[in-house]
A and B are shown apart, each in its own frame.
Chain A
Amino acid sequence: MSLDLSFAGRIYPPTAPYQVGREKIREFATAIGATDAAHHDPAAARALGHPDVVAPPTFPVLITMAACRQIVEDPALGVDYSRVVHGDQRFAYTRPVVAGDELVCVNTIEEVTTRGGHGFLTTRTDVTDAAGEPVVAVWSRIVVRGEA
């Protein structure tokens, strides 16, 4: 089954807010071995000018990957998730994610193509805070491998 190319440019409704927890940032930082005090100790984060502990740069993927389910699980688009390989990933920050943030994601399908029997899907997720201010834009490109 191939991808429906007409999905290019589609913008999805905003996701329910994700509450960024201090313990979740600590857990994630520990899992990747990030020991800097600003990921763990609110006082150390405040000394850098942040209201609470700072998330490592790839942390938002927890939020955006869940948010992108509204795309990849849309049967009309035709992504066979068992054949998906992660192609590219990018984070472009306006400011770091910190504990206490309530983040909302808006997904846009930037590109849908097929080439050599494989499907390629590029999504951009614009992540904003409770005030509606931009926090980070996240691009993800997945490859849906064709049947060999």
Chain B
Amino acid sequence: MELPTQTFRVTRVDLIRYAGASGDFNPIHWSDRFATSVGLPGVIAHGMFTMALVGRAVTTWAGAPDAVVDLGVRFTRPVVVPDDDEGTEIEVTAVVKGVTEDGLTRLDVTATCRGEKVLSQARAIVRTPR
């Protein structure tokens, strides 16, 4: 079963806010000058910010903020966030892969940005709603 796509807009201020809240002040997430100096096309989102959005998508599908039992991803491609009002968009979709012996639901998650996958092997196990 395929779950409804969830779309998240990401702009520079989201990265600044995430840097402050998470304590990850790596300049590749806020300075174009630094990002390009290390060979990136520009400022990129924190991988953990993208994963946090996946966490939001998964908890929304599961229908409970405390439903996530297991969440794992591989970061495969950077999410470039331009310095403009539109920023970029991350689309998150998932397929229900089945139910574990413990009655938990397994999801295979896909996250894309500008049509390209930014994560691979993204998987979640969630409790089904009470």
Contacts and interface: CB of A to CB of B under 8 A. Distances in A.
Contact of B75 (A36, A61, A86, A92): A86
A34 interface: yes
A58 B55 contact: yes
Interface string A88-110: 11111100100000000000000
Interface string B14-39: 10011011111000000000000010
Q: Summarize A's interface: helix, strand, loop or mixed.
A: mixed
A58 B23 contact: no
Interface string A42-68: 000000101000101110011001100
B56 A56 contact: yes
B53 interface: yes
Interface residues of B, number: 32
B59 A92 contact: no
Contacts of B17: 30-31
B113 interface: no
A142 B70 CA distance: 19
Interface stretch (B44-52, B81-89, B92-100): B44-52
Interface in B51-95: 51-53, 55-56, 58-59, 64-66, 68-75
Contacts of B70: 90-93
A28 interface: yes
Instruction: Determine the interface band of chain A, counting residues with CB < 8 A from chain B.
Output: 20 to 34
A27 B65 contact: no
A120 interface: no
Contact of A38 (B8, B24, B52, B65): B65
A33 interface: yes
Contact of A28 (B22, B47, B59, B71): B22
B71 A91 contact: yes
A86 B49 CA distance: 12
Contacts of A86: 47-48, 75
A86 B44 CA distance: 13
Nearest to B53: A32
Given A28-B21, A30-B21, A56-B65, A89 B52 contact: no
Q: Which 7 A-B pairs have the closest CB atoms?
A: A90-B72, A31-B21, A36-B65, A57-B68, A32-B52, A57-B55, A38-B65
